[in-house]
Amino acid sequence: MMKIALYDYVPQRFRMSFEQFILNRMILDFKDGRNYATRWAARQMASSLRACDMRNVTIVCIPASCPYTNARRWKRFLYELCRRCHAINGFDLVKVHSCREKKHLSQDRCYISCMGNASIDASIKGQKVLVVDDICTTCESANEFIASLQAAGADVVMALFLAKTRKMWA
């Protein structure tokens, strides 16, 4: 299965070009659910998928840390992305029930599950699925979510990330 990131994300503690700073700002504004950045992210991902036949593919997003953040970040984005590439919107197939600690802020990252506060609808069984997320740092969350989807019977064909954290040395 392919895992693709469209852009690099450079952590704020590192020096970066002005262009990278603007790109980072767009990515972070998307994570915050800002409308202009949501439309931008949907356009970028749809453009990258334009050569693929997406008519029978369900797109789902890796669950955020709480129901409010999940809806703010993913609901409008998935609607726009699926409209642009004629895919099936899988937003309602992954439900976030409660809040969990944000993985990137935790001191104990290896014990926080991205699925500990979410569930997958059984109707995903047998569907071709594209997994989408904003920033991939270690791919742990993506791998865990993909394994959960496969355990539920989904055929995960690809994971697409808006950005991948660039490894840098201080």
Domains of the chain: 2-165 (3.40.50.2020)
Flag whether the pTM goes above 0.85.
yes
What lies within 8 Å, CB to CB, of 109 at 6+ separation is: 103, 140
Mean pLDDT on 43-50: 97
Structure tokens at 59: 């797109």
Q: Give the pLDDT confidence score for residue 3 in this predicted structure.
A: 96
Judged by DSSP in three states, 163 sits in strand
Look at 28 and 101; give whichever has higher pLDDT. Answer: 28
Question: What is the CB neighbour count within 10 angstroms for residue 93?
Answer: 21
Of 33-47, 64-78, 107-121, the range with the lowest mean pLDDT is: 107-121
Mean pLDDT of the chain: 90
Element (H, E) at 42: helix 35-48
Mean pLDDT on 135-151: 94
**What's the pLDDT band for 58 if we cut at 50, 70, 90?**
very high
Structure tokens at 149: 């989807």
